[in-house]
Every structure is written in C-alpha cells, then in structure tokens.
Amino acid sequence: MKRKWWMGKVAYQIWPKSFADANGDGIGDLEGIIGKLDYLKGLGIDIIWISPVYRSPLVDQGYDISDYYDINPVFGDLTVMDRLIAEAKKRDMYIIMDLVVNHCSDEHEWFQKAMQDPDGEYGKYFYIAEKKDGRLPCNWRSYFGGSVWEPIPGTDKYYLHSFHKKQPDLNWENPKLRKEIYRMMNWWLDRGIAGFRIDAIINIKKKLPFRDYEPDREDGLSYIGNMLEEAEGIGEFLEEMKHETFEKYDAFTVGEVFNDKPEEVVEFIGEDGHFSSKFDFAPEMCGKHGTWYEHEVVTPEMYKNAIFDSQLMVGETGFLSNIIENHDEPRGVSRFIPEGDLSETSKKALACAYFFLRGIPFIYQGQEIGMENCDFPDIASYDDISTLDEYQVCIDAGYSKEDALALAHRFSRDNARTPVQWSDEAYAGFSSHKPWIMVNPDYRKINVKSQMEDPDSVYHFYRQMIALYKNPKYHEVFAFGSFLPYLREEGNLIAYQRSFEGQTIFVLVNFSKEAKSVTLPSDQTEVLLSNSKTVDKNGDNVKLCGYQAVVLAVCE
C-alpha cells in the first residue's frame, strides 16, 4: 500500500464536554483542550479526534448540529478553534473533527425552512412523507426508541429520524444537499483540520421505497438495521464525497462503520477505499444482543475471538482503528476485565492486548489512566438520551428499578462521559465549578496527577507502549507488520505475532489470575516491554504470572 502520513500514528479521542473546563462553568471547552495539548504530546499522541463542537442544542451532545459553520458558544468560538488547530500544528499534532451528516438538528436553518414549507426546496433536504391507507410509510424503529416518523405540526406529513426526533435525517438522494455538505467539509479542511471521524455514515443510504420489515418487538416496529442490510449503493455517495473533499487534502478519515461484510473491507478501507480507516467495533459488539437485559457478560475468549477475527478479516488490505472504548460505550476496563480481576496490572494487560494490533491505536480520554465505569445513584442523574430510552425498555419489560439501574451501571454511555479526572482536588481538577454531570467518586484514587507521579501507573504504561510503538527500530513492524494469532486455542491467553521484513515481535497477554507457561518458536528473544518488574524467561519458555503482559522481539 502507498505510504500515507497517518500510518503508524497514535490517536486520541476527546469528548469535549467532559475533557477540561477552562472558564469555570462546569462544561469542558476548546480553551481547556488547548491547555492540555502538552499533556497529550507528553503521552505521545499524534492525531486528536474531537467529538462535535459545532453549534448545537446538545440534545445528543453535539451529534445534533444546528450550524456546521460555527462553534457552540459553550465550547468557544472560531477564533479559539483556529488557535487550537495552530497550537496542535506547532506540536506536530493533527486535529480531526467529527463529521455528522446523516442528520442535523431540528434547529438547523434547513429544517426550520422545511417545516415552514415541506413541499419547498428545503423539504427535499429531508425525508418527508405522508401516511398511506392510514399507516406510516414504514415500521422502522429509531436507534433511540420509537418510530422513525415524527409528525410535522399543522400538516398530515411526517419526517424521518434514524436517531432522536430532534435529529432529522438528511436526504442524501438530493444532489443539492450533497453539494452543501461537501462545501462545508472543504471549508473546515481549508481551516487546517487534518480530516474527519465520520459519524453514523452507514445510515445515509436508505432502502427505498419505504416498506415494513418483520416486527422484532412488541411495539410492532423493526430495528432500522434490518433495512440497512438491504440498502445498496452507499459506495457511490462515499466515492463522490471523497473526490469532492478529502482526496484533495490528503486527509485522514475514519469511519463509524458497522455491519460491513468481509467482501466490503477493500471497498471501505483498501488502498483506494472510501476512507483511510474504520473503527473495529467487533470488541464493542461482543456479547451484545437486542437490548441491555439480553447482553451477555464478555469473557476473555469472546474478546480475543472478536479482535482476532477482525484482524484476520482485514489482514493487510487496510488499517483498522482499534479501540477498547469510546463515548458510546462503557469503560473498556470495566467491560473486558472479568469482575473481581480489575487492577492496575489487568488494566495494563488489556491495554497491551489491543494496542499492538495491526491498525491505528485510538485512546479515549481517561483510558490512559484506567478510568472505570461510574455507578450513578439513580436514573435521574443520567443525562444520555439513549440511556434513558434503554432504561425504559427494561422497565417496560418488567425489570425492577434497581435491576434496570444495575444494567445502566454496566451499559450506559454516560459511564465514559464523566469528567476526566485530572487530580484529587475538588471536581477532580476538571473545573472550578460543579460539573454538568457527576464526577466518578473514585477520582481521589484514579487521577492524572497521581498517575503521573507513580512510575508504575497505567498512565506510564501507556506512555511506554506509545514510545515502543514509535521507536524507530520497531516502528515499521508495529505500523505495517502482518498479524498472526499465536496459540489461539490456549484459553485466557491473548497472544499474537507481528512480522515485517524479517523482523518478528510477540505480544503475550495472560488474561487470567493463574500463571501460564508459553513456549515461543525461538529461544533468542529480547523483552521490550512488560507490565511487571521481572519476566521469567528461560530459553524459549516464558512463565507469565496472573495478568502479565510481555512484548518480545525475536533477535535477528
């Protein structure tokens, strides 16, 4: 594959509302991000993805945009944004923004105009339809619950929303709309951003004409994904978008792509793919079925199989973006480490297991200090719309409030949305004011300051991993090397091999409390990194203690 500037880079996701608050109103902001650039540089980060900061009523925390050409005043303004881009550049870092174009906010000017005149020009920017024989155009269920159709007041018409009713879907079949989107994207690229994380993109292509699918719950509705399975032709939109925008800027793009099939890997992230990369959501989908109460507990074997299958599926066709968590998921350490086994050591083991996979490693804010899920005291303390919907689904299914709350503790997106814990001072050093959402009470124990002071902390382990990844001696093998599972059948062992031009690295992670002995194909190896002080290695044999992780290079 042709080499690109973003290959071999390490990325970090900022969810701005909870990252750092500079002006003391309890809400994170752009100035707060600027203040932490040196911290991120010190960690070793190259690319920073910032979740949406555009003007928005924040119904879905910025994933509902009312003006693509402006910054939400709670976060700052365009001048601060320009400064952030410039300050990042000064430090050889790149800013990528979130591109949310499946839908906008119902407060966007286009939608307001469409509501005034649904048959006019702006009505065609959205999906607007009428009932037929007294029935809605289709029975799709929106991601956040209920029908995708919402009545337009004063008319007999409805508009479609795949997510919340305050997030009307944009009609990508309309070339005029597409042109408007590309203009906006280029406007941002011209301002100096290095690319985009592309939100919910699979939803832009609908299977038309609208029709019902097999109902899958008592509400008579059908999961919208059932329709997406059948929708064809998204590639034409994505290719057009690429030619009109990113391609001209050599931008880095990472798609939020779910449910793609093995044969689509090339199309999406191959050398001439629609995007540079796409997230590997296989670990996030692990054990998930239907609603919260149907989810299974993720075992180390399930986790291993998920990441290994994705790695093998993609092979050297392209680069996945690897994660253990993001703003839509609970904390990775709380999810993938078996209950009772959570410790600084096991957190480092999980980190090591995913970080050296082939692809672009992404770190979500707070992950580098081992932030954990947060037990909110009651449902009223949650903010996230999707959490409130899922909770209600559990209640409607007969779950008690306590049991539904316990499920929220495990699965709510707000687990990852509590403020980053910078210190043990008031409000975890995130703000001088009471934050917009509760701070995880464990901040006195888990915070950046104490992690930085402790040379054996999770934070320092992340720094070491990044430094090793970028060490010129090994950078090529980590960035471009092939991936091969090692001793895959061995339970609770996550082990793999990365190889490039005669160089071989082994990553061995004992994902259990019990000691484990592993035999390597070579007795000439050198330890590059471990999450414990000593590595018990004898010739080709490595004895791993509980949750020990070791990275070794085969000596040449």
Catalytic residue IDs? 199, 256
Site string for Ca ion, 24-63 (x = CB under 5 A): -x-x-x----------------------------------
Q: With contact defined as beta carbons under 8 Å apart, do 226 and 215 qualify?
A: no
CA-to-CA distance for 264 and 36, rounded, in angstroms? 38
Which of ligand GLC, Ca ion, none does 169 bind, CB closer than 5 to 8 A by kind? none
Of 200 and 495, nearer to ligand GLC (C-beta) is 200
Of 17 and 347, nearer to ligand GLC (C-beta) is 17
Which residues, in sequence order, are CB contacts of 247 under 8 Å at separation 6+?
Answer: none
**Minimum distance from residue 433 beta carbon to Ca ion (Å):** 8
User: Which 95-154 residues touch ligand GLC, going by CB under 6 A?
Assistant: 100
Site string for ligand GLC, 42-61 (x = CB under 6 A): ------------------x-
Which of ligand GLC, Ca ion, none does 71 bind, CB closer than 5 to 8 A by kind? none
Q: Can residue 265 be called a binding residue for Ca ion (CB under 5 A)?
A: no
Which residue has 């990044």 as its token pair? 466
User: Which 184-243 residues touch ligand GLC, going by CB under 6 A?
Assistant: 199-200
Of 386 and 548, nearer to ligand GLC (C-beta) is 386
Count of residues near Ca ion by CB under 5 A: 5
From candidates 212, 328, 344, 456, binder to ligand GLC by CB under 6 A: 328
Which of ligand GLC, Ca ion, none does 63 bind, CB closer than 5 to 8 A by kind? ligand GLC
| Residue 111, number of CB atoms within 10 A of its CB | 23
**Minimum distance from residue 15 beta carbon to ligand GLC (Å):** 9
**Minimum distance from residue 435 beta carbon to Ca ion (Å):** 10
Which of Ca ion, ligand GLC, none does 21 bind, CB closer than 5 to 8 A by kind? Ca ion
Q: With contact defined as beta carbons under 8 Å apart, do 390 and 300 qualify?
A: no
Handedness of CA 97, 103, 107, 111 (dihedral sign): positive
Which of ligand GLC, Ca ion, none does 100 bind, CB closer than 5 to 8 A by kind? ligand GLC
From candidates 6, 12, 19, 63, binder to ligand GLC by CB under 6 A: 63
Q: Is 349 exposed, middle or buried (0-12, 13-18, 19+ CB in 10 A)?
A: buried
**Minimum distance from residue 533 beta carbon to ligand GLC (Å):** 39
**Minimum distance from residue 163 beta carbon to ligand GLC (Å):** 5
Q: Can residue 19 be called a binding residue for ligand GLC (CB under 6 A)?
A: no
Q: With contact defined as beta carbons under 8 Å apart, do 176 and 235 qualify?
A: no
| Helices (H), ranges, 297-447 | 300-314, 332-336, 344-355, 385-396, 401-411
CA-to-CA distance for 87 and 209, rounded, in angstroms? 48
**Minimum distance from residue 63 beta carbon to ligand GLC (Å):** 3
CA-to-CA distance for 401 and 412, rounded, in angstroms? 15
Between the two ends of the chain, the Cα-to-Cα distance in Å is 26
Q: Can residue 31 be called a binding residue for ligand GLC (CB under 6 A)?
A: no
Q: With contact defined as beta carbons under 8 Å apart, do 372 and 442 qualify?
A: yes
User: Which 157-186 residues touch ligand GLC, going by CB under 6 A?
Assistant: 163
Q: Can residue 21 be called a binding residue for Ca ion (CB under 5 A)?
A: yes
User: Which 245-264 residues touch ligand GLC, going by CB under 6 A?
Assistant: 256
Q: Is 534 exposed, middle or buried (0-12, 13-18, 19+ CB in 10 A)?
A: exposed
Q: With contact defined as beta carbons under 8 Å apart, do 33 and 16 qualify?
A: yes
CA-to-CA distance for 448 and 145, rounded, in angstroms? 37
**Minimum distance from residue 73 beta carbon to Ca ion (Å):** 10
**Minimum distance from residue 326 beta carbon to ligand GLC (Å):** 7
CA-to-CA distance for 62 and 491, rounded, in angstroms? 42
Look up residue 540 and give its two tokens.
């080709």
Residue 543 CA from chain centroid, whole number: 35
CA-to-CA distance for 101 and 556, rounded, in angstroms? 49
Site for ligand GLC, rule CB under 6 A:
60, 63, 100, 163, 199-200, 256, 327-328
Site for Ca ion, rule CB under 5 A:
21, 23, 25, 27, 29
